[in-house]
Amino acid sequence: MTSNNRPRVALASVEQDPQTEGRRVQRTAGRIAGFFLITQFVLMWVTFFVLSSSINWPASLDDPASIALPRLIDHYGAVMTGYSLYLLVALLLVPATAALNRRFSLTGALGQTALALAIISALAKAIGITRWLFAMPVLAQAYVSGANRATIELLFMTLNGYAGGIGEIWESL
């Protein structure tokens, strides 16, 4: 007994079997990967419902500035919410891939390549998505205020061609 009348518990050193520990780590990594993948799935559906119901996305991506920019102003909250969720979906690809690498013991060149492609894909998608969060609202405000619409339409087409092209090319990874 100790001085405060509690029994003393001897702590024994327990050695962990490396194989058992490895399986535990793999199971945990599998659960983490599953969480990220399910979260991506759910967020993508929410993104789709928010954007499709408010701006007819993804068909609206082909709309000209004269339609897309005023509509962005009219549905600003939904557009910001939808594209913010879509950005999160894109970025979750990186930790999901890292967890899958751990789950399936992908090490060396194969694991590094998988993770590198996930990072490139996530960044490319992020470039395509963030144009709607940062650049397009500024263009939309200028467009509806009656500023030089020809210039704004040119900027709109340029941003869509550049950022949209990057996002769509790498999205297929």
Average pLDDT in the 145-155 region? Answer: 91
Domain assignment of residue 65, yes or no: yes
Domain assignment of residue 7, yes or no: no
Determine how many CB atoms are found less than 10 A away from the CB of residue 28.
Answer: 13
Percent of the chain with pLDDT over 70: 88
Average pLDDT in the 21-30 region? Answer: 90
- Please give the Cα distance from 9 to 4 (Å, whole number): 13
- Please give the Cα distance from 129 to 141 (Å, whole number): 19
Specify the number of domains making up the chain.
Answer: 1
| pTM of the predicted protein model | 0.83
Residues 3-17 pLDDT 10s: 566 666 555 555 567
Residue position matching structure tokens 């007994």: 1
**Could you give the angle at the alpha carbon of 131 between the alpha carbons of 137 and 60, nearest 5°?**
80
The boundaries of the domain holding residue 25 are 18-171
Domain assignment of residue 5, yes or no: no
Domain assignment of residue 130, yes or no: yes
Whether residue 75 is predicted with pLDDT greater than 70 in this model: the reply is yes
Domain assignment of residue 155, yes or no: yes
Domain assignment of residue 11, yes or no: no
Cα first-last separation, the chain:
64
Domain assignment of residue 90, yes or no: yes
Give the lowest-confidence range in 14-18, 88-92, 119-123, 137-141: 14-18
Q: Give the residue from 37, 44, 16 showing the smallest Cα distance to 103.
A: 37
In sequence order, which residues have a C-beta less than 8 Å from that of residue 159 and are 6 or more positions away? 131, 135, 136, 139
Q: How confident is the model at residue 168 (pLDDT cuts 50, 70, 90)?
A: confident
Q: Give the residue from 77, 19, 89, 62 showing the smallest Cα distance to 156.
A: 62
